Structures are given as C-alpha cells and as structure tokens.
C-alpha cells in the first residue's frame, strides 16, 4: 500500500461509502514492526478509529492474502473465538495500491515484547496464561464445515505440505547461508519421521501473544489469520510453546513477552491444552523441531529482504542478530528432533 496525503485522501473517499458520518481528513499510523501484513490505525477528524490491513511492499502475488483473512474473520464472527469485525475490504478500489481491509478497532493491546508484558499484574499474567490456552482450544474445537471453512484447505498431509513449502522457501532464500548444513540435517530428520495427524482443525498458523489483543489479562481478539488453514492442531500448539519463553531462555531476534516472568510454564500450558482437547501431546517434540526449523527459514527470508532493502527502514533488525537467531533455532530444532 502507498502512504502519504494522497493515500489518506483516497482511503477517506473509499471508506466514506462504508462508514457512516466519516469525518475527513484521515490519519494513517502504522502499528508494530511485523514482517507480515502491515497493520495501521486509521483515525478520522473526530477521533474515531479503525484498523487497516494490507500486504507489505513488494509482496509476491498470492502471499499475505488479505481477502483470505477477511473470509476467515467473517466466518468466525459470532463463534466463541473473539475476532475483529470486518467493516469492508477492497482491492485497488481506493486507488491506494493493492488489496486491503478495514476492521473495527477492538479494545486491548498486543503484547509485542517484555516491556509490554511487564505492565501486567501477576494476577493478569496468570489469567492470560489460562486464557491463551483456552482460546486456542476453542479454535481447534470448531467444526470447519459448520462455520463455512470446510474447503479452506486439504484435510490430510498438513505436515508434508508444510515441509515441502518450507523446503522451497529455503531454496529461494538460503543460498550461501552458513546455516545450510544444519538446515539440511533438520530436513532429513523431519521428513523421515512425520507423525500421524490426530485431528483436522482450523489451524491459526501464527498463534502467539503478539497476535492477541489483551485487556486486564483477558483476550479481546485473536489477530493475524492470513496463514490460517485446515491443519494439525499440534503445530499451532508448538508454535505457541516456542514463543512462550522463560526468563532463563536466551534473548533472540524475535522478542518473547513471557521472558519478563510471572507466566505459567511451558509444561503447564501443554498439560492444560491436552486436558482441554483430549489430544495426545507426547510427540510434541517433533512439532517443536518442525516449528523451530520453519521459523529459521522464515527469518532467512527476512534476512534476504533486509539485505536487499525491500522492507525499508520500519522495524529494522540487526542482520548479525538475525543470523545468530537462525543458527540458534536450527540447533534447537536438531535437539528436539534427535530426542
């Protein structure tokens, strides 16, 4: 999406057809430093606010699918999963470049790092630990057919497809990487031990604290559904557990709010999830190996785009730290898959 006064004027003209009593001019302020779909706050002259979502500059066709996210949000509206209400979606309709959607702004804040989580009281951290697992279990308990998402993706072979996609991404991004040897060893071990998928669920794909809106320790909305598909529930659980780092874990490029302390342990989260869903979590080590390996591959893509300058200066990351994090994640992946 383009930015600046012209984009703001174009968006105001388009949004006026979808929002009553819109008061121009609008102001657009980007939120966070995410590498995925860009999230911005749209504020009109009377102080009313909405959330704008659009792909990052230079995103390939089909990636960062805003309209897929809109479909999922609309399907989940009215279920037990808290999601934002979609106001409208467009594709070049406002003359501002590319697909985008506008959602109602939900109360609460996203916990991007330790500083954000540090503002929560011990009681709120405890409540949030419980609700984070409870909401994930609710997502996985939904019947995809009953909410109109039965054809969101294939019902079998989730891990096989994810491994193949990750392999293709590394082939495009990992040329010359010092971590290539460890990455290939992970691939060899992962492809040789793919577990049986226990259940087909609506898999969020990026479920972690920074993609939840939180107020008083409660979850008011689950965000960032662009990677959602039909898949394996334990892959979602592993992604959450990987991000749920303790104060004793080393700091890496990806900040983890829970490193501030005072949250439930990983072991407690896993046991709570198993109790709520009835799933066997004994083989979670494989899924954690896979999610570490996948995260390292995604960061390799970020590293490549940062070096090329295609991501601009917003949320710039230290390239040496990125390389160290990629190596750390692959070492952790090997440790999990070997055990």
Domains for the chain: give ranges and CATH numbers. Answer: 5-104 (3.30.200.20), 109-338 (3.90.1200.10)
Print pLDDT tens along the chain (339 aa).
455 677 778 888 888 888 888 898 888 888 765 546 788 899 999 999 999 888 766 554 455 578 899 999 999 999 999 999 999 887 765 555 678 889 999 999 999 999 999 999 999 999 999 999 999 999 999 999 999 999 999 999 999 999 999 999 999 999 889 999 999 999 999 999 999 999 999 999 999 999 999 999 999 999 999 899 999 999 999 999 999 999 999 999 999 999 999 999 999 999 999 999 999 999 999 999 999 999 999 999 989 887 866 555 545 567 889 999 999 999 999 999 998
Decide: 329 and 302 in contact? Cβ < 8 Å.
Answer: no
| Rounded CA Rg of the chain | 20
Integer Cα distance of 280 and 283 in angstroms: 8
Tell me how crowded residue 146 is: count the other CB atoms within 10 A of its CB. 10
SS3 label, residue 164: helix
> Which residues have a Cβ under 8 Å from the Cβ of 323 and sit 6 or more positions away?
178, 179, 303
Q: What is the pTM of this model?
A: 0.90
Integer Cα distance of 59 and 64 in angstroms: 7
Decide: 100 and 10 in contact? Cβ < 8 Å.
Answer: no
Decide: 20 and 1 in contact? Cβ < 8 Å.
Answer: no
């Amino acid at each position: 999406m383009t930015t600046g006064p012209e984009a703001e004027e174009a968006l105001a003209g388009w949004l006026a057809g979808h929002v009553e009593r819109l008061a121009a001019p609008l102001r657009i302020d980007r939120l966070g430093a995410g590498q995925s779909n860009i999230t911005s706050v749209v504020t009109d002259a009377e102080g009313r606010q909405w959330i704008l979502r659009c792909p990052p500059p230079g995103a390939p066709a089909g990636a960062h699918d805003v309209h897929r996210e809109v479909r999922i949000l609309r399907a989940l509206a009215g279920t037990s999963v808290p999601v934002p209400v979609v106001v409208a979606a467009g594709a070049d309709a406002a003359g501002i470049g590319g697909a985008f959607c506008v959602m109602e702004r939900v109360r609460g804040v996203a916990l991007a790092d330790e500083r954000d989580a540090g503002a929560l009281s011990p009681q709120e951290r405890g409540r949030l630990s419980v609700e984070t697992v409870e909401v994930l279990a609710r997502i996985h308990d939904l019947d995809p057919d009953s909410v109109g998402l039965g054809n969101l993706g294939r019902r079998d072979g989730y891990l096989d497809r994810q491994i193949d996609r990750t392999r293709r991404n590394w082939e495009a991004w990992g040329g010359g990487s010092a971590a290539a040897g460890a990455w290939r060893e992970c691939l060899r071990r992962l492809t040789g031990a793919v577990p049986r998928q226990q259940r087909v669920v609506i898999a969020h794909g990026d479920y972690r604290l920074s993609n939840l809106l939180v107020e008083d320790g409660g979850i008011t909305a689950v965000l960032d559904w662009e990677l959602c598909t039909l898949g394996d529930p334990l892959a979602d659980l592993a992604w959450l557990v990987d991000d749920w780092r303790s104060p004793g874990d080393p700091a890496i490029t990806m900040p983890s709010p829970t490193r501030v302390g005072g949250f439930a342990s990983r072991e407690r989260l896993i046991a709570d999830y198993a109790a709520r869903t009835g799933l066997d979590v004994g083989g979670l080590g494989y899924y954690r190996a896979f999610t570490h390996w996948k995260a390292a591959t995604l960061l390799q893509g970020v590293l490549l785009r940062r070096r090329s300058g295609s991501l601009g200066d917003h949320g710039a990351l230290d390239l040496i730290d990125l390389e160290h994090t990629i190596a750390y994640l692959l070492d952790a992946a090997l440790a999990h898959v070997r055990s």
